[in-house]
Structure 1
């Protein structure tokens, strides 16, 4: 968005310099108790009274107005994040909510759902340093020796590696917390999601690899994402697939990362649902998943009234996959690929 931003969120991260910015004012609200019996729930009060559009891309997002009168709300249970170019719109919303619920103004965005935010004239920085240190403290890894990679290269685990853990819940709890940490740490996404396959029956070897991720986090607990203020509104993505990399199922692993200008806004590392008969098919499935992700991101940007300046671009490293996407007559070589993967062809300019 080119307008100044006004958002709501908890301000427990210790960043106080934002209050002195000339074009930024922030306001936050949090519901403190249940409303009276005659009051409507938040998900009814907010859309009906404050917004005229509920985003189709995200049911927790609703918007109202256009241009300088635009306001967006992101609601999660009893926490609300607000974005607008006018402080008066935010104040009007707070007054409206306060007539129905008792709310608490948490001030400028600093801490929201475990994510720390720091806004300056140069842009926005997001990280989960406090959450990462809590994970290290609970696992007693605060003073461990750090490593430079989250996982040993070319090492893939199986369900039969090692001996079963006496307390599998400790492994499940650790992996669950690491999964949430990937909200701002794409560098550990592959390793964490690889380990998440073994939560049903973890072993000591799986736990050893999980501990290596903690040692990697120890080296940079405050690492996160940066979004510069002056960024080009160009949506692009990189797609790749590791064919038959799972030694147990021979399924491929798909990876993608999407950028808005130079800012990373979405990333995935996921095992494909079925076995691909060729590397071209695996790459083509990855391309199809990337296409659907970009289509969703483009719709989300439209809900936020953000218009991209150039056509969406997907980068891939497979010449055969690009040929399949461009050539509609490759019947003999592509007849085994499911029809839903050919969504790529419809989106090519």
Structure 2
């Protein structure tokens, strides 16, 4: 197909083209190849793959979840199947074994997939099953963070942050290489997926990514020493839990020394299982503790 090179950087009538491999084109030719499937490395590849996969699931009867485009669900009577997609990795769960076998047969017919069996490890999250329920933790991920920072042999601490510690933008010397601090805090943010106990400390540390100082790095290392003492902690989802939804929220008052904004915190339980939590600085300055708590209640609701 003879197409001008100007079209090679984008779509051409919703089709994708690429230059031929070296050795398949003579000097002076302007031939390109029309792709019938997406290839890794192309900017259109991720969109094409998601479109193809979601279309296959929707044809089978799946629906998109309103909470995220990577979550699909299928209801047939009392039975349900849920699929979560991350790039080309899938996690499938169900309420009835016969329905999931039907879904897996459909996926095998449409795609080249490999069934890895019962979920044990996914995106750094370890999954353990017992008669009491399901446990999620990031033990290996936390150990990797400690190893990269050279703190595997450090002395453990009982708390993630010093009591009444107030960090700001002025105390301490500027770090000569702020990228290491930013990388560390970024990894700690992902660790909060299964560690709600460090969420508040990580929220404070993430406020100084633009210009980190030595005091901020010392507080981050203090948090790592706490992780050393609680390396195996995670979330437990009980199989005997009720479906009663219960939420707790709280707020301090004008705790930020730089903006005088209050901090909201909440956690939501489904029966005995913690399913949602958050800590975040409020956008406006509250004039009283009661106002700060009402704002926290509104966010939690």
Question: Shared fold (TM-score greater than 0.5)?
Answer: yes
Pick the structure with more strand per residue.
2
SS of the equivalent of 1:201 reads coil
Q: Which runs of 5 or more residues in structure 2 are unaligned?
A: 1-38
Q: Which runs of 5 or more residues in structure 1 are unaligned?
A: 1-31, 292-349
CA-based RMSD? 2.1
State whether structure 2 residue 168 is matched by structure 1 residue 167.
no
SS of the equivalent of 1:270 reads strand
Residue deviations 1:195-244 (CA, integer Å, cap 9, x gap): 00000000111000000011100112111011111112110111111111
The 5 A counterparts of 1:103-142 are 103-142=113-152
- Which residue, out of 31, 34, 53, partners 1:42? 53
Aligned partners of 1:80 and 1:141: how far apart in 2? 34
Task: Report how many residues are paired.
Answer: 258
The CA deviation at 1:138 is 0.7
Aligned partners of 1:229 and 1:97: how far apart in 2? 29
The answer as to whether partners of 1:151 and 1:209 remain within 8 angstroms in 2 is: yes
State whether structure 2 residue 232 is matched by structure 1 residue 248.
no
Pick the structure with more helix per residue.
1
- Residue matched to 2:21: none
The CA deviation at 1:154 is 0.5
State whether structure 2 residue 248 is matched by structure 1 residue 221.
no
SS of the equivalent of 2:58 reads helix
Aligned partners of 1:64 and 1:114: how far apart in 2? 27
Residue deviations 1:88-127 (CA, integer Å, cap 9, x gap): 3222222222333221211101112211111122111110
Structure index of larger Rg: 2
Compared CA separation, residues 228 and 205, structure 1 to 2 (3 A) = same
- Residue matched to 2:4: none
Aligned partners of 1:279 and 1:38: how far apart in 2? 50
Normalised to the residue count of structure 1, the TM-score between the two structures is 0.70
State whether structure 2 residue 300 is matched by structure 1 residue 287.
no
The 5 A counterparts of 1:180-219 are 180-219=190-229
The CA deviation at 1:67 is 4.3
The CA deviation at 1:59 is 2.3
- Residue matched to 1:317: none
Aligned partners of 2:150 and 2:50: how far apart in 1? 46
Normalised to the residue count of structure 2, the TM-score between the two structures is 0.81
